[in-house]
């Protein structure tokens, strides 16, 4: 018996909802350079159809270090916690202060726990000769403790102030642009994989 082979069209797959990515700007120091790098990052995030970005800026979040749930702390958390909770993935931007990342960023991280769990984190740094890479390695340890997954590739700006002009444009964008694409590609893969995994089986930890 001959079996006919048909070329029936394959049903179209539903469009994948873009990943919600929260960019955490980790410096609150006076005269900080972070907003320049953050704007550059946001351009890359917004250029992608698979990512939707929003921002949490440590400088705008007034959280005490006592972890006391005061009315002031509750008010501050009401503006930041939902942005972390609804994120599928994170990009954390950090400078390097004294071979590590800023206290304000650590405080923001420590006020939360479940918001980070089973989600990917991409790390971007800036600084002097080291480019903030020592801060990145410390953050990897912190996020591992919080059951988050840091992606392998990073973007780092060595001598960051000299890398951008007064308008916030990179003098030579080729290297950073390629690094950003590789990092965000990895973040998107992990973000989609972990979002699907959490939906099928909640992470117990």
pLDDT digits (tens, 9 = 90+) for 15-32: 589 999 999 999 999 999
Split at pLDDT 50, 70, 90, the class of 11 is very low
Q: What's the pLDDT at 54?
A: 98
Q: Any idea what DSSP says for residue 172?
A: S
Range of lowest pLDDT (3-12, 74-83, 117-126, 174-183): 3-12
Mean pLDDT of the chain: 93
DSSP 23-89: EEE----TT-SHHHHHHHHHHHHHT-TTEEEEEEEGGG----TT----HHHHHHHHHHHHHHHT-SE
pLDDT digits (tens, 9 = 90+) for 107-145: 999 999 999 999 999 999 999 999 999 999 999 999 999
Q: What's the pLDDT at 182?
A: 98
């Amino acid at each position: 018996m001959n079996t006919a082979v048909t070329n029936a069209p394959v049903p179209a797959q539903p469009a994948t909802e873009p990943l919600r990515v929260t960019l955490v700007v980790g410096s609150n120091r006076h005269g900080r350079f972070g907003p320049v790098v953050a704007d550059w990052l946001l351009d890359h995030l917004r250029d992608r159809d698979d990512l939707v970005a929003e921002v949490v800026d440590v400088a705008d979040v007034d959280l005490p270090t006592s972890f006391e749930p005061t009315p002031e702390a509750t008010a501050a958390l009401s503006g930041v916690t939902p942005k972390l909770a609804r994120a599928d993935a994170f990009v954390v931007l950090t400078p390097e202060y004294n071979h590590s990342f800023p206290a304000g960023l650590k405080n923001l991280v420590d006020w939360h726990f479940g918001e980070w769990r089973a989600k990917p984190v991409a790390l971007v740094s800036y600084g002097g000769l080291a480019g903030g890479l020592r801060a990145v390695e410390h953050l990897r340890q912190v996020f591992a403790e919080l059951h988050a997954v840091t992606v392998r590739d990073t973007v780092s700006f060595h001598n960051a102030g000299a890398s951008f002009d007064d308008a916030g444009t990179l003098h030579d964008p080729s290297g950073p642009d390629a690094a950003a694409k590789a990092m965000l590609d990895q973040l998107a893969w992990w973000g989609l994989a972990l979002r699907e995994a959490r939906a099928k089986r909640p992470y117990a930890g």
